[in-house]
Amino acid sequence: MRPFLSALALVLASTAPTVQSIEIDGRLDPEEWAGARHIREFVQVQPLTGAPATLATEAWVLATPKGLAVAFRNAQPVEVPRTRQRTRRDQDAQVDRVNLMVDFEGDGRTGYNFMVTITGGIADAVITSERNFNKDWDGDWRYAVAEDEDGWSAEFLIPWHIAPQGRAQDGRRSLGLYLDRVVGSTGERVAWPGVSFNQPRFLSDFVRIEVPDHHQALLAVTPYVSATHDRVRGDTGRSAGADLFWKVNGQFQLAATLNPDFGQVESDSLVVNFSAVESFFGDKRPFFTENQGLFEVPFGVSNSRLLYTRRIGGPADDGRGAGDVRAAVKLNGSLGDTRYGLLAASEGDAAGREFYALRATRDFAAQGLGGMVTHVDRPFLDRQATVYSVDHRWTPNGSVIVRSQAVASSVRQAGARSEGSGFQVRADQDFGNGWRHQLYFLHLGDDLQLNDIGYLDRNDFNYLRYEVARRRTDLPAGSRFASHEWRGALSQRRNDHGMHIADAFAINRISQRRDGGSEFIDIAGWSAGKDDLILRGNGVVRVPEKLWFFHERSAPRRGHWSWYGNLRGNAEGLEGAKGMGLRVFVQPTLHLRDDLSLAVGLQLHHQPDWLLWRGGNRLGSFRADSANLAGNLQWQVGDRQELRVKLETIAIDARLRQAWRVDADGTPVRVNEPIPDFAVRNLGFQVRYRYELAPLSDLYVVYARGGFVLDDDGQSVGRLLGEAFSLRDEEQFLVKLSYRFTI
């Protein structure tokens, strides 16, 4: 019997499709995709009607030894315009495109998005916390597109080693899968399954599919060398380092780096920040983006999180520039149903720090548990900081998800110990018929400290918020809009000692337009209360009511033009609503060719009552005018070359209206004290040429210039904006070469 079965298996194998022979060329060969899962059930998710797609869309999914292969066939007759604008990697644009999203571990915690446009542009991102997309990560995967008169096609091949994978049982593994297509000229998005990232549940609602357990290993070393010439200081610097990625299989992956590049070829947007809250920036260093999804643990509002990798190699503790990261290592793997990750990094200079993070998760049917510990040793400050976190996720049914988290910090500095804690609970429920609501509570103790390795915009805070939302897709056929989602929210803010900060309301509407564009309107108000941040620990300030409104509109490309604009009104000073300021931003984009575009943005801002801290318990109310001019020239030279010219300038003219001292009870008192006017000029300019030698292997040639000046003298905004172009605090030429060797 056994010889017969063996012979039968050989016969079947000889007649089965040879999945290894799939050629990723964008042209769908029926023989290559024979045996693949064929998906036709695409429905509209933008607008989120669940109706069948207006243009036929099909997909094929096939697990091969070389990776997960996916193909799209998109019908698009000549009467439906095709948006062939060329885009750089990870660039947002309203173009024809398809997305493949995969949860390789099948647990709804981390997903990976792979996007391909009709012209072969790509983007990739890591998805965490159900619907947070982080484009800092760049993966190595294969793709191709092809067009014909009836439509266009796209093929993907995602290697199994690209991300950690779930445990196999009986030779098979479970994946989460989501596929969608966007028609650039109309904005319509169709997907399988019919869920949207605009809903509270997204990642955990991916379709679960079973695939054979293919094993794939990778050893990749990416050395880099760079040389920088500083024309201001007249010196030249050289640097070299390497990233190593060793992926033994889906259950064990290791990354290491020596002297990592801090991303000199990337340029952060200019920010002039006079507030008490630190600015947040992303991280593009490959080591800190690869397999980072497990460590993406948000805690608090906005960008707050337990691990903020920009701390590693950030401003040094001795105040002398940035920390010098000598080496770092990261492990990701699984033991049974438990997934774990370990991160360690060391700065080698005199004020160097040691960073550590350990994360583990495990899921049990409708519940999931996670834990994280971070530790930072800062010898220069005689400081050691440890943070502990436990998070829990409960999904009792398809309409409810409850997420909770408790965090504690322990800091020892100069022999003194400080301990703090915090927790949060977020509950979402979908009622159906377009209705949903959310309840969120956040507690941050006044001794909670996360910013040695994390990012927390503030502590000493209690926040309660309730939101209800309704989605409408049954709009008249003659309406300019395809859908609306209305949201209303009430919230309360207090510090940890019961002090009332503010009560607030917010009403907003998110709309998809039938012309492919979008619109957003937001109106909010805060009650009178107290500001406990602006004086930086020197007391609190009684503040009046605040008002806010915001409107933005985007229009997709028509002919040679596309545009974006917004209008904002805000009242944040001591005059309350009477002191409302106005900000206008307009950015048209001229598409000279499909591969060449020029975007120019101009922002004008008038603030009649801008309240700023001026030291101690002293405040100043300023009448301020500012302008921000930005330009971006993008030229995609063939498939491998890119030229980008980026310009940003900021000019601020602030004239004192009134000086204040704050009494012990928080009351601002007018005083006749000299507080100087001030003016700001800021410039950032970069010309960057990139040549792609191979996937994740590039040659960069960069020219950068910038400067910042803060004067104790008011000047006209127009003059300041013109003078900003002459700033030259820094002027550098940079050449960087990196090449990825794989085994």
Please report, for the domain that includes residue 83, its CATH number: 2.60.40.1190
Domain termination site, one of 214, 232, 258: 214
CB 369 within 8 A of CB 391: yes
How many angstroms separate the CA atoms of 267 and 646, rounded? Answer: 9
- The answer to the question of residue 447 being in a domain is no
* 448 domain-assigned: no
CB 48 within 8 A of CB 196: yes
Our count of domains for the chain comes to 2
In this prediction, residue 264 carries a pLDDT of 66
CB 82 within 8 A of CB 150: no
HSE-CB for 344 with a 13 A CA cutoff: 4
C-alpha torsion sign, points 503, 298, 402, 524? positive
Q: What is the dihedral of CA 733, 739, 740, 741, to 10 degrees?
A: -150
Nearest to 624 by CA among 677, 667, 702, 681: 677
C-alpha distances out from residue 540 to 258, 442, 661, Å: 46, 21, 11
CB 430 within 8 A of CB 404: no
Sign of the Cα torsion 637, 640, 645, 648 reads: positive
Q: In the prediction, which pLDDT does 262 show?
A: 63
Contact 688, 700 (CB under 8 A): yes
Instruction: Report how far apart the first and last C-alpha atoms of the chain are (Å, whole number).
Output: 42
**Which tokens hold the place of 41?**
């059930």
Torsional class of 560: left (φ above 0), alpha (ψ -120 to 50), beta (otherwise)? alpha
Backbone φ and ψ for 4, nearest 5 degrees, come out as -65, -45
Q: Would 250 be classed as within a structural domain?
A: no
Domain termination site, one of 190, 214, 238: 214
Residue 210 tokens, joined: 């079973």
Contact criterion met (CB below 8 Å) for 314 and 376:
no
- Helix, strand, coil shares, percent, the chain, to 5: 5, 55, 35
Closest among 290, 250, 314 to 104, alpha carbons compared: 250
C-alpha to C-alpha distances, 724 to 230, 606, 721, nearest whole angstrom: 20, 19, 5
Closest C-alpha among 117, 186, 175 to residue 146: 117
Identify the pLDDT of residue 639: 87
Residues 233 and 239: their CA atoms lie apart, in Å, by 18
| pLDDT of res. 9 | 38
- What's the token pair of residue 613? 């801290």
| Structural domain contains residue 589 | yes
Whether the Cβ atoms of residue 655 and residue 607 lie closer than 8 Å to each other = no
Position 261 scores a pLDDT of 75
* CA–CA dist 579, 418 (Å, integer): 41
User: Is 67 contained in some domain?
Assistant: yes
Q: At 96, give phi and psi (nearest 5°).
A: -65, 130
Count the Cβ atoms, other than its own, within 10 Å of residue 307: 24
In residues, how long is the chain?
Answer: 743
Q: Which range marks the domain in which residue 155 is found? A: 19-214
The pLDDT, as a whole number, for residue 168 is 83
- Distance separating alpha carbons of residues 563 and 571, to the nearest angstrom: 27
In a domain, 490, yes or no: no
Other beta carbons within 10 angstroms of residue 741's beta carbon come to 12
Q: What is the pLDDT of residue 8?
A: 34
User: pTM for the full model?
Assistant: 0.89
| Angstrom distance (rounded) from CA 259 to CA 29 | 46
Give the H or E element holding residue 491. strand 481-494
Report the distance separating Cα 104 and Cα 114, nearest Å.
13
How far apart CA 240 and CA 110 sit, in angstroms, is 32
Domain C-terminal end among 192, 214, 236: 214
In a domain, 105, yes or no: yes
Answer whether residue 502 is part of any domain: no
Query: Which residue ranges in the chain fall short of pLDDT 70?
Result: 1-21, 262-264
The 10 Å Cβ neighbour count of residue 527 is 16
Count CB-CB contacts under 10 A for residue 638. Answer: 10
Task: Report the DSSP pairing between strands 596-613 and 383-397.
Answer: unpaired
Which residue matches tokens 């190595």?
140
- pLDDT value, residue 17: 39
